[in-house]
Amino acid sequence: MRKVRWASVWTVVGACAVALAMLWVVLRGRVWAWIPFFLAAGVAVREIRFLQRARRPADAGFDERRRGQADEGRGRRR
């Protein structure tokens, strides 16, 4: 079993709660609430992507080379 990153999970939960609250405020007619809505949604998306990358193995076996590594010549596209 993998180690759960509870801080990131709670960050996602909190950011989603704030985003939903701000969406409710936007729907009630407060234009200023768009700013915290987008900030909270951005934080949630960033943390979800971080959690997904953390679960993926270091070498996932994709055809593309990793950034910063020299190309070995195989699978090279032009």
Q: Please tell me the distance from the alpha carbon of residue 60 to that of residue 5, in angstroms, as a whole number.
A: 20
pLDDT at residue 69 is higher than 70: no
Distances (CA, A) of 72 to 5, 60, 78: 35, 17, 14
Going from N- to C-terminal start, the domains of the chain cover 6-55
pLDDT digits (tens, 9 = 90+) for 31-53: 999 999 999 999 999 999 988 88
Give the three-state DSSP class for 68: coil
pLDDT at residue 66 is higher than 70: no
Q: What is the pTM of this model?
A: 0.67
Q: Please tell me the distance from the alpha carbon of residue 64 to that of residue 71, in angstroms, as a whole number.
A: 10
